[in-house]
Structure 1
Amino acid sequence: MVQPIHDRVVIQPEKAEDKTAAGIIIPDTAKEKPQKGKVIASGPGKKDDPNTVKPGDRVLYGKYAGTELQFEGEDYLIMRESDILAIID
């Protein structure tokens, strides 16, 4: 697995919706980028500011936050903890 350093976090984005609530199938070209995901790994944080998210947390992040990464056939994002907007219960 990829182990982030400093205040970086590795997130596995949730899959984009395939259908609307009414059952209309959404083509790949019209799908929205997901803004929710699961924390896979978290760095220790900055010297005086430890990271508050931990592996397993579901989070909400900005639409264009992070850097996309593919590792062992899976899609991930690496971003700063400050790019995370909220932890979802």
Structure 2
Amino acid sequence: MAKRLIPSLNRVLVEKIIPPSKTSYGILLPEKTTKLNSGKVVVVGPGAPTMDGNIIPVSVKEGHTVLLPDYGGMEVKLGDKEYHLFRDDDILGTLHD
């Protein structure tokens, strides 16, 4: 049975997307094309409370593809998978097709 993590407050659990280093035909891709630091949101926390007790919800939702900072976040291993835990404020933006 795998453990399930529910982030607290305004934290977001992200599974990093590792871009391919070569094409399906075996052509190696330059490092610049594989540099984008992104991930898929797995679970979000309920949000952070304000001074008067209202909850500010997290700005991303489960399933969003997000742009992540090069440094920061906390590595979390659940079962055989690796995830990263970020604060909502640390996420740089969402990526759309």
Give the TM-score band, short-chain normalised. 0.7 to 0.9
**2:27 aligned counterpart, secondary structure:** coil
Structure 2 stretches lacking a partner, 5+ long:
51-55
Find out whether 1:47 has 2:53 as its counterpart. Answer: no
Q: CA RMSD in A?
A: 2.3
Alignment counterpart, residue 13 of structure 1, candidates 9, 12, 16: 16
Indicate the percent of aligned positions where both proteins have the same amino acid.
31
Q: Larger radius of gyration, structure 1 or 2?
A: 2
Deviation at 1:79, TM superposition (A): 0.9
Would the alpha carbon gap of residues 25 and 52 (structure 1) be closer, same or farther in structure 2, given more than 3 Å must change?
closer
User: What CA distance in whole angstroms lies between the structure 2 residues aligned with 1:54 and 1:25?
Assistant: 31
Alignment counterpart, residue 35 of structure 1, candidates 28, 34, 37: 37
Deviation at 1:35, TM superposition (A): 1.2
Deviation at 1:24, TM superposition (A): 2.5
What corresponds to 1:74 in structure 2?
Answer: 81
Count of aligned pairs between the two proteins = 83
Structure 1 stretches lacking a partner, 5+ long:
27-31
Q: TM-score, normalised by structure 2?
A: 0.74
